[in-house]
Structure 1
Amino acid sequence: MITPEYCRTMARYNAWQNEGLKRALMSLPREELERDRGAFFGSIWKTANHLLWADLIWMSRFDGGEAPAGGIGGSVALARNAADWEALRFRTDGRIRVWADGLKSLDLVGDLTWMSGAAGREVSRPVALCVAHMFNHQAHHRGQLHAMLTAAGVKMPDTDLFLMPAGR
Structure 2
Amino acid sequence: MISAEYCRLMARYNSWQNGSLVTAADGLTNADRWKDRGAFFQSIAATLNHLYWADALMLERLKGNPRPEDNIRHSLTSPSDWDEFKTLRSQRNEEIEDWAAQLRDVELCGMLAWYPGDGSTRIEKPKALCAIELFNHQTHHRGQIHAMLTAAGARPEATDLSMLP
For residue 119 of structure 1, report the CA deviation from its aligned partner.
9.5
Q: Distance in 1 between matches of 2:32 and 2:118?
A: 29
Count of aligned residue pairs for this structure pair: 162
Letter in 2 for 1:111: M
For residue 121 of structure 1, report the CA deviation from its aligned partner.
2.4
Q: Is the 8 A contact 1:53 1:78 kept in 2?
A: no
Q: In the alignment, what sits opposite 1:107?
A: 107
- The reply on whether 1:123 has 2:123 as its aligned counterpart is yes
Q: In the alignment, what sits opposite 2:73?
A: 70
Q: In the alignment, what sits opposite 2:39?
A: 39
For residue 140 of structure 1, report the CA deviation from its aligned partner.
0.2
Specify whether residues 107 and 164 from structure 1 end up closer, same or farther in structure 2 by C-alpha distance, changes over 3 A only: same
Q: In the alignment, what sits opposite 1:10?
A: 10
Q: In the alignment, what sits opposite 1:48?
A: 48
Letter in 1 for 2:84: D
- The reply on whether 1:95 has 2:98 as its aligned counterpart is no
Structure 1 consecutive aligned stretches of length 4 or more whose deviation exceeds 4 Å: 64-68
Q: In the alignment, what sits opposite 1:29?
A: 29
For residue 143 of structure 1, report the CA deviation from its aligned partner.
0.1
Q: Is the 8 A contact 2:64 2:112 kept in 1?
A: no
For residue 156 of structure 1, report the CA deviation from its aligned partner.
1.9
Specify whether residues 41 and 118 from structure 1 end up closer, same or farther in structure 2 by C-alpha distance, changes over 3 A only: farther
For residue 64 of structure 1, report the CA deviation from its aligned partner.
5.0
Deviation larger for 62-71 or 99-108: 62-71
Q: RMSD of the TM alignment (CA)?
A: 1.8
Letter in 2 for 1:160: D
Q: Is the 8 A contact 2:4 2:100 kept in 1?
A: yes
Q: Distance in 2 between matches of 1:9 and 1:32?
A: 32
Cα deviation digits, residues 93-129 of structure 1 (max 9, x gap) = 0010010011111100011101124995220000000
TM-score by length of 1: 0.90
Q: Is the 8 A contact 2:23 2:156 kept in 1?
A: no
Percent identity (aligned) = 44
Specify whether residues 135 and 32 from structure 1 end up closer, same or farther in structure 2 by C-alpha distance, changes over 3 A only: same
Flag structure 1 segments of 5+ consecutive residues without an equivalent: none
Cα deviation digits, residues 11-35 of structure 1 (max 9, x gap) = 0000011111111111100111111
Specify whether residues 95 and 146 from structure 1 end up closer, same or farther in structure 2 by C-alpha distance, changes over 3 A only: same
Cα deviation digits, residues 78-97 of structure 1 (max 9, x gap) = 31211111111111100100
TM-score by length of 2: 0.92
Secondary structure of the equivalent of 1:116?
Answer: coil
Letter in 2 for 1:70: R
Q: Distance in 2 between matches of 1:118 and 1:106?
A: 31
Specify whether residues 29 and 120 from structure 1 end up closer, same or farther in structure 2 by C-alpha distance, changes over 3 A only: farther
